Amino acid sequence: MDNTWSDNSNKAMEILDRMFSAEMEFMRSDGNDFSGITSAFHPDIVVHEPASLPYPGDWCGYEELGKLFNTMHNTWSSMNVENIVATLDGDTLFMGGTLVAKARQSEKKVQLPFAQILKIKDDLVVEAFPYYFDTSLINAALGHSEINK
C-alpha cells in the first residue's frame, strides 16, 4: 500500500484563495456579479451544508451557490477562515483552519475549528463538504434554540 501524499500545498492555497475571494466578491456585489464565481467554481458545483445549519442541504450550480452565499451574507456580518492549512492529493483538496464569524442579528462571535473537503475539476471547485466543529454553538450565536431539520 502506498501512503505517499503529494504535498501540493501551494496549489491548494491558490485554489482556496480564489474560492474565498470569489465568495467575498459575490457577496460585496449584492449577488449580482457571478464573474468571480465562474473563475473559482465549476458549473456543476455542489455544496453539501449540514442539516443542522440555517442554510442546510445541497446547493447545486451557480444560481443556487449564489443563493447560498447570499443566505450566508444575510446570516453573518463577517466570516473568515484563519490559520488555514491545506494539501491537494489528486482531485481532492483537504483544508482545515479556524472559522471566525459574527452573527448579523445578535452580533455574537463564534470561533471554532473548521475543515473542508473539496473535489477539484479543471482547477475549479466542483464539490464541497464543509465540516463545522460545533453547529450547536453556531445556532446559539444565531439565536436558534432548536436544530433545523
Identify which of 25, 26, 31, 63 has the alpha carbon closest to the alpha carbon of residue 47. Answer: 63
Instruction: Report d(CA 37, CA 50) in Å as an integer.
Output: 22
Q: What is the pLDDT of residues 70-93, one digit of tens each?
A: 898 889 988 899 999 999 999 999
Helix, strand, or coil (residue 67): helix
Q: What is the pLDDT of residues 97-120, one digit of tens each?
A: 999 999 999 999 999 999 999 999
Strand partners, 130: 116
Other beta carbons less than 10 A from residue 42's beta carbon = 18
In this prediction, residue 35 carries a pLDDT of 82
Instruction: Report d(CA 31, CA 25) in Å as an integer.
Output: 9
Full-model pTM:
0.88
Does residue 138 surpass a pLDDT of 70? yes
Residue 45 corresponds to which cell in the numbers above? 458545483
Instruction: Report d(CA 130, CA 128) in Å as an integer.
Output: 6
